[in-house]
Structure 1
């Protein structure tokens, strides 16, 4: 059965003011560039929900990408068609018990770098990297879609289900 997917759109602003945009089918991640942890703030739909997150990084994953980097970072597996996105921290230090959130696919994320000079951060949409960012916006771009076709013997929905019930 075919599945229609919408990619994430990333808009990143660098310390020099340059803007970069890219698409991510699996995820958009924000990650520290040095050995020091990143200090980030996260806004959800224009409201600051996480005033300070100290971590290696954070990612926003689509259902199609939820079994990739997101799963390795202990994020949830999201069924295709669930209309959800995963917001998953990467090696969070503070707050210690925060494990991320599942949010509606219409959510707009803004990740702000709190100390970009001392703790530089890069943003990556699948394979496109932007270094030295100060702010990253992420949203599902519903104006763009593509259809995944599957071999009836090996569909992605079945693989996602199997991933959740490993013997």
Structure 2
């Protein structure tokens, strides 16, 4: 690894100040010229940076300047070069979402954490769930449902009481939010290569929106989700604090 580092920061005073401090110490190059990209902010900015740099060869090392930093390392301006040399790399494949809307339009997006479907009106959503072309649940009455990657399993999925997935596991978590019927259905674990389809039932009476890492689509009638193996997000962590360790540690707090 050379010393060609690109520093990118979220739009906060703390992050901008941190960037100025680091640039003064280590210099700065454009992301497309960098050997490594250092993202300064919280998890939301880390996801934004990964999406924006997915076509570049450089891995991303995050330092926490926000309120949530599960994907970030501790901020410290000293000894950064040594930390980058010692960092452990994790590779994450995003999910691809293909959503069809009531007006016939089709929207595609990528999600590093999860794709979620949420009711967009006063009444609960009704969803039919198919896996690899086979209907597995004829009707799920709920506030919503999501499909997440291991990297995203501690985010929205965990708040919805879904399972935490080890980063090395080739599985996805399908989790319901406030399921009314089947009342005790808590979701499923699916192979990473599974293709999951949600069909929205009673679309006019019970409107539903879809969201892929905060990219929202309203009035969906169907959503198809699969793992996008062709895209590899490379994330760097300090030794002993990698994503796998964090996922395990999170289950014992």
Question: Could you say which TM-score interval applies, normalised by the shorter chain?
Answer: over 0.9
Gaps of 5+ in 1: none
CA distance in 2, matches of 1:53, 1:146: 33
**Contact 2:210/2:218, CA 8 A, preserved across alignment:** yes
Greater fraction strand: 1
CA distance in 1, matches of 2:93, 2:247: 18
Q: Secondary structure at the match of 2:104?
A: coil
Give the total of aligned pairs.
166
CA distance in 1, matches of 2:124, 2:104: 23
> Which residue, out of 199, 211, 219, partners 1:124?
211
CA distance in 2, matches of 1:35, 1:151: 45
Cross-structure match for 1:80: 167
Higher relative contact order (CA 8 A, sep 6+): 1
Cross-structure match for 1:55: 142
When structure 1 is superposed on structure 2, of 5-14 and 148-157 the one drifting more is: 148-157
Q: Following TM superposition, by how much is the alpha carbon of 1:160 offset from its aligned partner in structure 2, in angstroms?
A: 1.0
TM normalised by structure 2 equals: 0.65
TM normalised by structure 1 equals: 0.97
> Which residue, out of 108, 122, 126, partners 1:21?
108
Cross-structure match for 2:12: none
Q: Secondary structure at the match of 1:2?
A: strand
CA distance in 2, matches of 1:97, 1:127: 28
Q: Following TM superposition, by how much is the alpha carbon of 1:153 offset from its aligned partner in structure 2, in angstroms?
A: 4.6
CA distance in 1, matches of 2:131, 2:155: 23
Give yes or no for the alignment of 1:92 onto 2:175.
Answer: no
CA distance in 1, matches of 2:187, 2:127: 14
Greater fraction helix: 2
Which ranges of 4 or more aligned residues in structure 1 deviate by more than 6 Å?
A: none
When structure 1 is superposed on structure 2, of 157-166 and 146-155 the one drifting more is: 146-155
Q: Following TM superposition, by how much is the alpha carbon of 1:154 offset from its aligned partner in structure 2, in angstroms?
A: 2.5
The structure with the larger Rg is 2
Q: Following TM superposition, by how much is the alpha carbon of 1:159 offset from its aligned partner in structure 2, in angstroms?
A: 1.3
Backbone CA RMSD of aligned residues: 0.7
Q: Following TM superposition, by how much is the alpha carbon of 1:161 offset from its aligned partner in structure 2, in angstroms?
A: 1.0
CA distance in 2, matches of 1:35, 1:78: 32
